[in-house]
Structures are given as structure tokens and as C-alpha cells.
Amino acid sequence: MSRYLIPSLATMLALAACTHAPTVQRYQPPSQDEFVNAQGASPQEPAAEFWHGFHDELLDSLVQRALKANSDIRTAAASLQEARALNRIADADLLPSVGVDVGAARIRAKNDAGIPQTNKVYSAGFDVAWEVDLFGRLSDARRAAVAGVLAGQAGLNAAQLSISAEVARNYFELRGLQERLRVAVLSLETQQEALKLVEAREEVGRGTALDTERARALVKSTAAQIPALDAALIRSRYRLAVLCGLPPTALDAELAPPRPLPGLAPVDLGGIGSPATLLRRRPDILQAEAQAAAATAQAGVARGAWFPTVTLGGTLGQNASSWGTLHDGASYAYNLGAQLTWNLIDFGRIRAQISAADARNEAALVNYERTVLNALEETEGALAGYTRTQRQAQLLWEAARSSEQAAMIARERFAVGSTDFLTVLDAERELLSARDQLAQAQTGAATSLVAVYKALAGGWGTN
């Protein structure tokens, strides 16, 4: 063995592990032990399938159907499959390639005596080629591919979380609209009865035309809300169907029957984790981090173009003038060697490619920073919204109960003639407004809780 071979092999093995990826400092948000809008939260990881916590079988069914058939999720799954395939390619690039070569040819040329002669040549053998990763270009490409797989998996998880939250939000909005429609219809029926009473009183001279027209105006105003609510209901059903990967009208029969909002008891915000655990849990952050890692590795691949490419290869086979003698030992032939390729003059092409890769790397790092900040903003906003909407819903429930009592008293007093009909109209308007606001607040409380689950990448206390 040559005395130069061992040092050369040692140098080759050492360089094979090197990388030319730039060293970058990823964004680190200021340390924070807990969320401002969730004081006293313990550092416990939340559960993922948050929708089960609402105990609504139809909601569970809708989410499961969406997770299987939604187009965004299927697209993310296809992207993950592509990333895994590219990773397998990157793994294979580090290994030798072996091929089979079988050929037959007729060659006409002058022999040694200068006489034209036609000969047949047959060959069969194996071709081997291996690019030695001396300068880390292939290793950087593999690191980029691995990061691409991680980004693809996180992207799929992010799509699943987003779609499940979107289904839950639209489902609660649908139930809220049904409640608002029910309130409007009941109010309309009550107001129509009041209109009949006022008209009867006018006919016998105990009422005025002014009272009648006011009552009629209130009836028409309430009736005008019903078509708008009905249209919003239709759009909600269509949206849910498309989220589940179905034609818009496919769920009409299933979703049309009115059902109340799932009972929502106040939820303890303890055990939701800390901002630090959130950054390790949210799939969009994990995706952005993996994308940044992939971009950094690709910048290393671009820098690897500065260095030469060394390929080891050769052919091992048989060459003969006839098929019958192809297997003879005399026809045995081989060709082993190495090839070095180095682009010395490219008029700035490699430098430009490196600049482009560095720019993509910088954009990926900025995207990671933006994703982290948006996640923290979304979480704090969701927590603040949930705690406030819970309080709002409680206050509006009390207001609706008082408005109902006031309307009942106003109707009774008008019936005995102790007050005018204007008081009844005001009380009816207040009652309709209070009930409608209560339905909206209850819907808002439900959707704000969904926003909290989504912001925290799952839920908590639902296992």
C-alpha cells in the first residue's frame, strides 16, 4: 500500500463530514414564564384533539371527515410525500450508483495492413460511479432534504390544526345563527300578536293609528332580519361542506335541523403551558424553523460549488467478438479511475448563486421570526378574547333576563291601560336586541375558545 494512501484516506474522511452552510443566529424572543392573559398557568402540555372537549358528536364527525378529505390537508400530505421522496434521493446521492451495460456493434475500419475490415463487438459489464463528498456539498443537500421532511410534517400538522379549528368555528357560528333565527322568529310571533291587539283596540276606539303603525313597523323590522339570517345560515352550511371535501349542498339535510350551542362551562386556563413550550409545540413555528434550516443548508450547497467534484468509477465486464466467447476468461476487461471536475472560470455564476441562496436563507429566517411573533400575538389575543367574551356573555344573559321581565310587565300594564303602547314597543325592541346580542355573545364565547385551542396548538385538560 502506498505511503500516501493512508493520509489521503484520512483527509477524505475528515472532509466528508464538513459543511459550508453559513452560521446564523435564529430569532429568540425575550424569555417569559407565562402568558400575560393567563396568569398562573402551569407548564403542562395541551392535548391535540380539542374538539372532543365540546362533547358534540356531530362536531366530532365533521372534524374527522374534514381531516380525511379536506383539500388543504391533502395538499399538505402530498407535499410531505414529495419531501420524503427528495430525502430518499439525497440519501442515494451519497452512495455509489451501479448500472448494467450490454452492447453489440459492427465496426468497419482498416486493420494494421491498411485493409478495410468489418468486425463485430459484444460487451457486457457493470458500471460504477461514486461522487466522493469531499467538501460537504452532498451532506448539505441531505441536511436540507431532512429539514424539508420536518417542514412537510409540520406543515401537515399545521393544516390539520387549522382545518379542525375552522370546522369548529363555522359549526358554532352555524348554531349561533340558528339561535338568532329562533329568537327573531319568536319575537316576530310575539310582535304580530301585539299588532293584532293594537289593531283590535283601534277598531273599538281604545287605541290610536299611531300605535298601530308603530307596532306594524316593529313587525316589519323584525321580519326583515330573518332573510339575512337565513342567508348566513346557508353560507355556513356550504362552508362546512367544502371544508369536509364535499359539494356545498351535501350537508344541508344533516345541518339544517336547529340544535343549541354545546354547553360551554367556564374553562380553567391553567395548564396551558408557557410561551417557551408554545414555541416548541406550534406546528407553524416548527415548519418555519425547519424551512430556515433547509435554507441554511441550501446556502451550504451553493457554496460547495466553489470546490472541485471528485468522482470514482469504472467498468467491470467482458468484451468479445462473438456472443459465444463473451464468457471466456480472455474477454475479461476492467477500467477503474477517478475524475476531478473543477469550474475555474464561470464569470460570476457561482457567486451569484451563493448570493441568491443567502437571500433565500435571510428571507426564511425573517419568516421564522415573523411566525414566532405572530404566534405569541395570536395566543395572547385569543386568551384575552376568551376571558372577555365569557364575561360579556354572562352580563348579556343577565340583561336578556331583565329585558324579558320588563317586556312582560310592559305588556301587562298596557293590557290594563296603565301605560301607552310606546312603552311596550321600547320593551320589545330591547328584548329582541338583548336576546340577539346574547346569542352573538354565546357564539363569540364558543369561537373564542376555539381560537384559544388553535393558538395553543391543541387544547388542555381534554385527555
What is the distance between the alpha carbons of residues 198 and 451, in angstroms, rounded to a whole number?
A: 47
Percent of the chain scoring above 70 in pLDDT:
83
CB 161 within 8 A of CB 378: no
pTM beyond cutoff 0.85: no
The whole-angstrom separation of Cα 48 and Cα 86 is 29
* Residue 37 confidence (pLDDT): 58
Residue range(s) in the chain whose domain bears CATH number 1.20.1600.10: 15-79+161-274+353-455
Structural element, H or E, at residue 130 = strand 116-132
Residue 326 in this model has a pLDDT that exceeds 70: no
**Grid cell listed for 26:** 435564529
The rounded Cα 202 to chain-centroid distance in angstroms is 63
Nearest to 181 by CA among 228, 239, 219: 228
Task: Locate CATH 2.20.200.10 in the chain.
Answer: 95-132+308-341
Instruction: List pLDDT tens digits, range 37-55.
Output: 564 444 444 456 778 878 8
Measured torsion, CA atoms of residues 420, 426, 432, 434, in degrees rounded to the nearest 10: -130
In the numeric block, the cell 310606546 is attached to 422
Note the CATH number of domain 95-132+308-341.
2.20.200.10
Helix, strand, coil percent content, the chain, rounded in steps of 5: 65, 10, 25
Max avg pLDDT among 32-46, 102-116, 159-173, 408-422: 159-173
Which tens digits make up the pLDDT trace of 58-99?
999 999 999 999 999 999 999 999 999 999 988 888 888 888
User: Above 80 in pLDDT, residue 158?
Assistant: yes
pLDDT in tens, 104-133: 777 777 777 777 877 777 777 778 888 888
Pick the CATH number of 15-79+161-274+353-455 from 3.40.50.2300, 1.20.1600.10, 3.40.190.10, 1.10.357.10: 1.20.1600.10
Rounded (10°) angle between helices 137-203 and 71-93: 180
> What's the confidence (pLDDT) of residue 166?
92
Classified as helix, coil or strand, 192 is: helix
Helices of type H across 267-348: 275-281, 283-304
Beta bridge partners of 101: 125
Q: Which of 189-203, 223-237, 339-353 has the lowest mean pLDDT?
A: 189-203
